Structure 1
Amino acid sequence: MGKLCSALALCLAAAAAPAAAGPAEEAERLYARFVAVQNAHDLERLRGLLLDSPRFLWVSNGLSLWGPDAMIARLSGFQANEVWCIDPDQRRASAVEVAPGAAFLHVPLVLTVGSAADPQRYHVLVSALCAETPDGWRIAALFTTDENRGEAAR
């Protein structure tokens, strides 16, 4: 009976275990951690979510920044504001697998930044290329731009 119970317990545990996530799901999980550490103003942990390479690229409204240190330096200035909060719109987010170890994630969000007395709200589009590395999933490239809130052209 003991062996049968053990086998049954193993089968139930296997059935309850989450299925392995694909690249799109991994990108979504990675970006959720990215938002959480930014909202926590934890730039050290944020750096660990970025591809550790001079080829890491952040394009922000036409400004190209190469390497994770450049991104952290720029973000440290932004996060010096009294208010810095990212609120992604998960309903409009979309992840697309581009290869077995890579996915492209597109997320509209609202960035609230500035003084506590007069914070500004910006509607931003973020697109992130997420890649599996030997150290886990990392953001390899990030593209941010102001969202055009007008009617989308098709």
Structure 2
Amino acid sequence: MNALEHLSNTPTVWSSLTRVRLSMLRAAFVFLAMTAAVAESASATSRDDEARTFFVRFVAAQNAHDPTAVAALLWESPDMLWLTRGVEVRGKKAITETLTDYYAGTWHLDPDMSHFKSTAITTDVVQILVPITFTRGLAGKPAQNNTFLISQILIRSADGWRVAAILPIANTQLK
């Protein structure tokens, strides 16, 4: 038996090698965990940016009183939900028709983007919260300003993000 074979067969060398291997495995695991955390953080930031950009487009389409542009941003489902003026409106077509009626009067949205928050529910579902001052009035009626905290659920489809639900909350001061 040569010296190398003798050393490799001694318990001290084996336990040293095992400790080195375990240390290397731990370091690799920590590296992978940190890489995954950074990637998830980047993904969350990207998703937040996407949700913010989408929401700004949605508001711009509404302020332009463009029902076709708004409809293109709504979820194509009979379950699409919008609560407006105490009424439950469901489905893309019904929502677009209601907005078209509102556009005949005064309708303007002014979101406070400094309080925009998005929360990823899954990689393809995001909830956003943002206070919005609505200037609104039915045709021939005086306009009023009202501020609501708006909760929207966005769903990522094959064609990009779509609004699946719009829920106004009268109290804009969350505790």
Query: TM-score interval w.r.t. the shorter chain?
Result: 0.7 to 0.9
Query: Greater helix share, 1 or 2?
Result: 2
Residue 59 of structure 1 aligns to which amino acid in structure 2?
A: L
Q: As a proportion of its length, which structure holds more strand?
A: 1
Residue of structure 2 in register with 1:90 after alignment: 113
Partner of 2:150: 126
TM-score normalised according to structure 1 size: 0.76
Deviation at 1:61, TM superposition (A): 4.8
Aligned residue for 1:69?
A: 93
Q: Which runs of 5+ in 1 are unaligned?
A: 1-18
Query: 1:108 aligns to what?
Result: 131
Q: Which protein, 1 or 2, shows the higher relative CO under an 8 Å CA cutoff with sep ≥ 6?
A: 1
SS of corresponding position for 1:22 = helix
Cα deviation for residue 140 of structure 1 reads 1.1
Q: Any stretches of 5+ residues in structure 2 without a counterpart?
A: 1-41
Match of 1:54, SS state, is coil
Tell me how far apart the structure 2 counterparts of residues 113 and 80 of structure 1 sit (CA, whole Å). 10
- Offset, 1:57: 1.2
Q: Write out aligned runs for 1:1-154 (5 A).
A: 22-81=46-105, 83-114=106-137, 118-145=142-169, 147-148=170-171, 152=173, 154=175
Q: What's the TM-score, normalizing by structure 2?
A: 0.67
% of aligned pairs identical?
31
C-alpha separation between the residues in 1 aligned to 2:162 and 2:174?
32
Question: Are the counterparts in 2 of residues 23 and 101 from structure 1 also a CA contact under 8 Å?
Answer: no
Q: Render the CA deviation track for 1:80-108: whole Å, top value 9, x for unaligned.
A: 11x32100011112111111111100011
Output the CA distance in 2 between the equivalents of 1:96 and 1:127: 11
Q: How far apart in 2 are the matches of 1:38 and 1:108?
A: 16
CA distance in 2, matches of 1:61, 1:41: 18
Rg comparison, structure with higher value: 2
Does the 8 A contact of 1:25 with 1:95 survive in 2? no
Q: CA shift at 1:113, angstroms?
A: 1.9
State the shift of 1:74 in Å.
Answer: 1.1
Q: Could you tell me how far apart the structure 2 residues matched to 1:148 and 1:130 are?
A: 22
